[in-house]
Amino acid sequence: MIVLDRDLIARFAGNQYLKVGNKNLQSVVGKHIHATALIPDENIQPSLKAFNKAITEGITVPVLIANLLHKIEDKIQVLGACISPIMEPNTRYVIGLRFEFCTIKIDTFFQILIKNAQPIVNNNLPHNDEFLTKREHQIAFLLFYCSSYVEIAEIISRFNQRIITEKTVRNIVSRYLYPKFNVSNKDSLLAKLQLHGYHNKIPNSLLSNRFIDLSR
């Protein structure tokens, strides 16, 4: 948690916020929120809009944050956060903000991206698997977090900025993933993929800096 005044200057920061930013309290208090941590350029304007919305409308604004510049225990984290107004009791005037967050499951992250209309910025990170192609790796990972081939196709389409069909996903699974892992059905494939750690190996091509206002 971090507490901000109306000018978005930090007045207090909790241990978890300091841990994520690898900061100490003295280096955070008195600084603008964007000076207290590494913030990707594409996250700055959406975050300012969300903070200002909480101040001007006096409402709690839930947000989703993905920041590739920050890691917790050497892993990219997706955060669910709430920006809550702190009000003067008698006048209901907003005197500051409370910004609290927690990590969320990766499948929740992808479900929100499916429903969200914002374009996804390609971060051009290098492909991070030597055994599978980029598309194969995307599908192998998403098999653990999506309920259908339709969902997998939607997510891949968003990140690749081109339409990928359910049929294409099915073909890649049966024609390429099955032979590579020497299996003949989806259950056996999932078992092999998990054995090789693909349930935890998120493809670089499915990572994107995000700051999404979920109150809209």
Per the structure block, which two tokens stand in for 69?
């510049």
> Is 123's pLDDT higher than 80?
no
pLDDT digits (tens, 9 = 90+) for 77-116: 788 999 999 999 888 899 999 999 888 888 888 888 777 7
Residue 123 lies in a domain: no
Domain with 15 in it: what CATH number?
3.30.450.20
SS (H, E, C) the chain: CEEEECCCEEEEECHHHHHHHCCCHHHHCCCEHHHCCCCCHHHHHHHHHHHHHHHHHCCCEEEEEEEEEEEECCEEEEEEEEEEEEECCCCCCEEEEEEEEEECCHHHHHHHHHHCCCCCCCCCCCCCCCCCCHHHHHHHHHCCCCCCHHHHHHHHHHHHCCCCCHHHHHHHHHHHHHHHCCCCCHHHHHHHHHHCCCCCCCCHHHCCCEEEECCC
Residue 125 lies in a domain: no
> Is 55's pLDDT higher than 90?
yes
Same domain, 112 and 138: no
Per-residue pLDDT, 196: 96
pLDDT digits (tens, 9 = 90+) for 128-170: 899 999 999 999 999 999 989 999 999 999 888 889 999 999 9
Domain coverage including residue 182: 134-200
Residue 37 lies in a domain: yes
pLDDT digits (tens, 9 = 90+) for 168-197: 999 999 999 999 999 999 999 999 999 999
Residue 154 lies in a domain: yes
* pTM (two decimals): 0.79
Least confident of 38-42, 49-53, 73-77, 138-142: 73-77
Per-residue pLDDT, 167: 98
Residue 93 lies in a domain: yes
Same domain, 86 and 18: yes
Same domain, 36 and 84: yes
Number of domains in the chain: 2
**141, 202 contact by CB (below 8 A):** yes
Residue 73 lies in a domain: yes
